[in-house]
Amino acid sequence: VSPQPPGALIAGVDAGGTTFKCALARLSGEIVARQRVPVTSPGETVNACVHFFEEALARQKGVLAGLGLASFGPVEVDPSSSDYGTILATPKPGWSNTPLLAMFRDRLGVPVNLDTDVNGALAAERRLGAAQGARSAAYVTIGTGIGAGLWAGEGFLAKPLHPEFGHIRVERHPDDLIFRGVCAFHGGCLEGLASAPALEQRFGDPAALPSAHRAWTIEAFYLAQACLTLYLSARPERILLGGGIMLAEGLLPKVHAAFADLLGGYLGLSEAGIAQLIQRPALGDDAGLIGALTLAQDAINETTWSG
Ligand code: ZN
């Protein structure tokens, strides 16, 4: 554990596709200030985050020791790469090849540690949330995009890369054969059919859809396929479904039912077993932010929150 000056604080950014959630915290992880920054251009967005941190640090009379970034993808997560922390080719306008980590490091002058938003959220859920005690777990976020992080054994799967689980192919729902899908690369991949923009294009604002709307039956069919693929390939003890879309009332039970249907009795999983396997994250909206603070701890070699 490296010695830190009195008043040392850490910063975390949960860098999502539409919002960057920022927090300043004590070394213990206790959050002392937070701010949501809407995503516009890379320069403007990073600038607004840095501005918040500088003001909050001045108010706290604190010294920043390190920053953790839990970022949307695709992003280079290999610390040995010269492009570490750079956003790769993305359909998100203006964001391809953005050196996100370097932009923050240059402005704040502290060690920065970056991983995917889903790995960050999964780290937080393993430590404090719904994946505590699970020997292997997956975290899937369903929002502007779809991504997944997987933990097994002693680490995240796919390192030094990260999974591109949002782009797996899925079987079409019989009532959803015409829609082209919104993925700029594949049309109707999982993200192309089940992300928030995909729902919005077919059915309008997802937040305004009643729980009995057929959109949720179709959505549950795709998410159940995603869970089944995860379960059959990696056999995680827990699959957490997070992101804005999962806030829809009644969606999780529909996913459970569709999952049971697709599994077809194989492996003898009971209804209760499926409900135990596939859950909502316990830390809710804060999982990514707490994950980012965990990454900040790692950045300054604190070992208190290991694993
Ligand atoms: Zn795709």
Cis amide leading into 160 (omega within 30): yes
Task: State the distance from the centre of ligand 1 to the C-alpha of 267, rounded, in angstroms.
Answer: 30
Q: What are phi and psi of 16, to 5 degrees?
A: -90, 175
Other CB atoms closer than 10 Å to residue 53's CB: what's the count?
23
pLDDT tens-digit map of 140-199 = 999 989 999 999 988 899 999 999 999 999 999 999 999 999 999 999 999 999 999 999
Task: State the distance from the centre of ligand 1 to the C-alpha of 73, rounded, in angstroms.
Answer: 12
pLDDT tens-digit map of 10-66 = 999 999 888 999 999 999 999 999 999 999 999 999 999 999 999 999 999 999 999
Mean pLDDT score of the chain, rounded to an integer? 94
Instruction: Using pLDDT thresholds of 50, 70 and 90, give the confidence band for residue 1.
Output: low
Percent with pLDDT over 70 in the chain:
97
CB atoms within 5 A of ion ligand 1 belong to 167, 183, 185-186, 189
Task: State the distance from the centre of ligand 1 to the C-alpha of 103, rounded, in angstroms.
Answer: 28
What gap in Å lies between CA 31 and CA 26, rounded to an integer?
6
Per the CB < 8 A criterion, the answer to whether 230 and 150 are in contact is: yes
Other CB atoms closer than 10 Å to residue 140's CB: what's the count?
28
Hey, what are 287's tokens?
A: 């999982």
What gap in Å lies between CA 60 and CA 250, rounded to an integer?
42
User: What is the side-by-side order of every strand in the sheet holding 19-26?
Assistant: 31-38, 19-26, 8-15, 63-71, 112-116
Nearest-5° angle of CA 83, CA 85, CA 91?
A: 90
